[in-house]
Structure formats: C-alpha cells, structure tokens
Amino acid sequence: EEQLVESGGDLVKPGGSLRLSCVASGFTFSNVWMSWVRQAPGKGLEWVGRIKRKSDGGTTDNPSPVKGRFTISRADSQNTLYLQMNNLKIEDTAVYYCATEGYPYGFHAMGVWGRGTKVTVSS
C-alpha cells in the first residue's frame, strides 16, 4: 500500500525554525516528484513547493510566500522528504501535507497524500 507519513510539527515562536519529515512506503520514492501543501485553520489548500526526482535534476520550486524561507530536500536512500522552515511567521500556522506529484497519475496531479502534521507559530 502506498503511504506517506509526516512528522515534526510543533509549536514554535515567530522567527523560529522547524524541519518536517515525510516518510514514503509502497512505491519507488526516488522516481517520484514530491510536493508540500499546507492548510491554515479554516482555510483552503496552498501549494508550498516541490522537489523533482534526481533524474529530472532534483531541483526545487517554491511559490513567493515561502521563497527564501522554506527549503525542500530529499533523502532517497531513506525514502524521506524534508521541509526546512526558517524565519517562521504567524501566517505559516497550518497543517502541512506531503504528496506525490505526477504519481501515479498525470503531470502535476497529487495522487498520494499523507495525513498531515500540524505547525503552530505563536508567541
């Protein structure tokens, strides 16, 4: 069974840092693009960024709200995706989901999702 399990969510002060992890199982992680998506309390989904598979360059992409603060990386030998979040702001408070992108369906479709991990930024 294809599965993603996030961890690392916590309560952190504004300006602080946090690293989230996402462990994959049931599919060949190294062959798959991976994305992070967040959802603030009572709000909609927001794409946070992606990392491509190494054969596609292993590059990352982030939208403007998090560019320069959030860094996505992957450890294919450990089937693990990471999201390093620095200089956290109150508006970063959300449930963070990891998801496959382009697997097992078409380009940019997020076919497998984790259950999410909660990040709260508050003083």
Partner 1 sequence: QSALTQPPSASGSPGQSVTISCTGTSSDVGNYDYVSWYQQHPGKAPKLMIYAVSMRPSGVPDRFSGSKSGNTASLTVSGLRTEDEADYYCTSYAGSNNLVFGGGTKLTVL
Min separation Cβ 40 and partner 1, Å: 12
Dihedral angle computed from the Cα positions of residues 99, 103, 107 and 113, in that order, rounded to the nearest 10 degrees = -20
Closer CB to partner 1, residue 57 or residue 77?
57
Residue 99 backbone phi and psi in degrees, to 5: -155, 150
CB 37 within 8 A of CB 45: yes
Q: Which of 26, 17, 41 has its CA nearest to residue 116?
A: 41
User: Stretches 7-15, 60-68, 75-83, 86-94: which one binds partner 1 (CB under 8 A)?
Assistant: 60-68
> Which range, of 20-28, 61-69, 73-81, 86-94, touches partner 1 by CB under 8 A?
61-69
The minimum distance between CB 98 and partner 1, in angstroms, equals 10
110 binds partner 1 (CB under 8 A): yes
Q: Please count the helices (runs of H) and the strands (runs of E) in the chain.
A: 0, 10
- State yes or no: residue 37 binds partner 1 (CB under 8 A): yes
